[in-house]
Structure 1
Amino acid sequence: MKILFDPWPRTANEIFSEEDQRKFFAEHEIFEIDPMQADSQYAEWLPQMDVIISQQALDSSRLAAATKLKAIFNVETNFLPNVDYAYCASRSIPVLTPSSVFALAVAEIGLAMALSLARNVHQAHADFQNGLEKYGLEGNQDAELLTGATVGILGYGDLGRAVKGVLQGFQNQILAHDPWLPDGFLERNGLQPVGLEQLLRESRFVFVTATITTENSKLLNAERLEWMQPGAILILLSRAAIADFDDLQTFANSGRIRVATDVFPEEPVPLEDPIRQTKNMLLSAHRAGALTSALQQIGKLVLEDLELISRNLPPASCKRAQLETVTQIRSKPIEKT
């Protein structure tokens, strides 16, 4: 197949293993976009293309030129609001992304954060280095077990499901809230469906894994954080926009809740940002999913679906944009892998 290949800000070396990259270029006719000539190359090449691998703007006028188009892949792994999804649907062109590739890596670091906050591992280590360690019970005054605790998962997509997977063995009652899924689906997955308020009020550990939409920006504000139990733990793993970070810092600094986050409203975080000194807050520099093994799964899943598409079969490995919900998604585009 003829493939227009424009993976920026990712690169072929990031998203493919050496073996998969050789296979990609050997099995298909690849038209690589030169950023300095992108507009002219899109205009010249689109009429010939079977597949587009790009997260650049694709409006209806640009897509209309791609008369042979069979699929679009976004290897940034977020559905962005720069594609005319309705036009694609009208032509039965699937818009795909291998978004599941980071779920397990992010879920694992979320579990690590939850355990570290529950047992104060990170602070105990710093105290030891500074000669301030506390031995035995004195060093566990605010500690608690994850095992047997009530856990809430806010958003049950790929990441939420991965979080549930890594919690196996901890014997938790798991509450879940996801307005895009029916209660029966959550129940069949071994979860107790609840409203947002009940989830926040009853959970000792809350994993925030929800997709960012037009309707949930700053969902976790002071009013809703007040619903959480004193000393409860909130693990923010999806995107910063779902929380009011000023309110998060206020609640953490006061000791009202404990917070861990891998995402921030501004990245890199400015050196003078007060979040760096916030008490009861465990910080990670948006690195949870950035593993070479996870990135190379992007190319692997794309290759799997390209093989199916070449045989006129529907794609099966990547997530397909659903017109009913994709226009509500507002994930922040990545600028760096």
Structure 2
Amino acid sequence: MSPSAAAIKTITFPDRDLLEAVGPLPAGIRGAVWDFAAAPDGLDVADVDGVVLPYLNAGAVLGALSRAGNLKFVQAQTTGVDGIREAVGDGVAIASAAGVHAASTAELAVGLVLASLRGIDTAVRDQLEGRWRHERRASLADRRVLLVGVGGIGAEIAKRLLPFEVELTRVGTQARDDDEGHVHGADELVQLAGATDVMIVITPLTDATRGLINAEVLAALPDGALVVNVARGAVVDSDALTAEVVSGRLKCAIDVFDPEPIPADHPLWKAENALITPHVGGDTSAFEPRIVRLLQRQLEALSNGNEPQNLVHPGRIWG
């Protein structure tokens, strides 16, 4: 099936504010609101060709997509698209919001590293008790940083680390060389972990990366090493990480975890060497203007029968 024979004519948005921000829509594209709690606003669900998923809690609405029997295209507002293909089937094309969250997530990754190494989290707790406690802390300068993930966000993190004068080692799916130097393969993680002060995890969640940072990798890290996860919680073995952190051997600074939200009685909440943020990596002031620009580009491409950006699964149209 050619793109022109299967053009996306009707696409829904999760809320009216986003629809209005993206408009006016290109000629030939009709927009509507579908919040997935009820039927699309003023539209038969059978007429829905394309769907923009909500940014937050998208996983909770995936089951509703089965009601759109003629669905051809799903646009995520997140970089990760885990669970979407399973919900809609192989015939539906899926695009991510890769690039939209790169700057914000890279900022948080570096911020978590700095806050943990320099003891800013400890200083905040001390401030609440009016306690002045001077101690020598680790600097990010001269730290051996292992960056697990070399995609768009990984590249942005690497760029932001350069001014801090770190010793950076990058890990991808397979060993290779690129314009920035050598990329090690994931099969080298245990060996590389032994010479790491800070591990930053930013690889996508796939069948191959689920539990990639397992007990063996964590055990190979030196005492006092810091694990930073801004990817997906399930990339890191939660039980193994918790055991290492609660024991005091490792430190963690995490924006994601498995499960989310972290249960209120989970031991990580009380671990002094754990720093936790509630999955806010991409949710900043930079998000809205960047997602609007991406959606405008996507709709323009679809209206012309062209392939959209960030296509992670081609479906029937572009397969």
Interval containing the TM-score (normalised by the shorter chain): 0.7 to 0.9
8 A contact 2:13–2:31 mirrored in 1: no
Q: Does 1:175 align with 2:174?
A: no
Match of 1:260, SS state, is: strand
Match of 2:52, SS state, is: strand
Q: Distance in 2 between matches of 1:309 and 1:322?
A: 15
Q: Distance in 2 between matches of 1:148 and 1:190?
A: 19
Match of 2:169, SS state, is: strand
Q: 1:306 corresponds to which residue?
A: 299
Q: 2:3 corresponds to which residue?
A: none
8 A contact 1:155–1:208 mirrored in 2: yes
Structure 2 matches for 1:1-337, cutoff 5 A? 2-7=9-14, 11-13=15-17, 15=18, 20-24=21-25, 28-33=29-34, 35-37=37-39, 41-43=44-46, 45-46=47-48, 49=49, 51-54=50-53, 56=62, 65=70, 71-79=73-81, 80=84, 81-85=86-90, 87-88=91-92, 94-135=93-134, 139-140=135-136, 143-179=137-173, 181=174, 183-184=176-177, 187-194=178-185, 195-315=188-308, 318-322=309-313
Q: Which runs of 5+ in 2 are unaligned?
A: 1-7
Q: Distance in 1 between matches of 2:182 and 2:313?
A: 24
- State the 1:76 CA deviation: 4.7
Counting helix residues as a fraction of each chain, which structure ranks higher? Answer: 1
Q: 2:5 corresponds to which residue?
A: none
- State the 1:25 CA deviation: 8.3
8 A contact 2:172–2:183 mirrored in 1: no
- State the 1:77 CA deviation: 4.5
**Amino acid of the structure 2 residue aligned with 1:174:** L
Question: Following superposition, which runs of at least 4 residues in structure 1 exceed 6 angstroms of deviation?
Answer: none
Pick closer, same or farther for the CA change 1:123–1:190 going to 2, 3 Å.
same
8 A contact 1:107–1:166 mirrored in 2: yes
Provide Cα deviations, 1:249-300, integer angstroms capped at 9, x if missing partner.
Answer: 2212222111111112233333322221012111111122211421442221
Provide Cα deviations, 1:194-214, integer angstroms capped at 9, x if missing partner.
Answer: 521233122211101111122
What is the RMSD computed on CA atoms of the aligned residues?
Answer: 3.0
**Amino acid of the structure 2 residue aligned with 1:33:** W
Output the TM-score relative to the length of structure 1: 0.76
Q: Distance in 2 between matches of 1:5 and 1:109?
A: 31
Match of 1:321, SS state, is: strand
Q: Distance in 2 between matches of 1:78 and 1:41?
A: 29
Match of 1:174, SS state, is: strand
Pick closer, same or farther for the CA change 1:148–1:132 going to 2, 3 Å.
same
8 A contact 1:2–1:31 mirrored in 2: no
Report the count of equivalent residues: 293
Q: Which runs of 5+ in 1 are unaligned?
A: 89-93, 325-337
8 A contact 2:253–2:274 mirrored in 1: yes
Q: Distance in 2 between matches of 1:36 and 1:234?
A: 42
Pick closer, same or farther for the CA change 1:173–1:309 going to 2, 3 Å.
same
Match of 1:176, SS state, is: strand
Output the TM-score relative to the length of structure 2: 0.80
Match of 2:168, SS state, is: strand
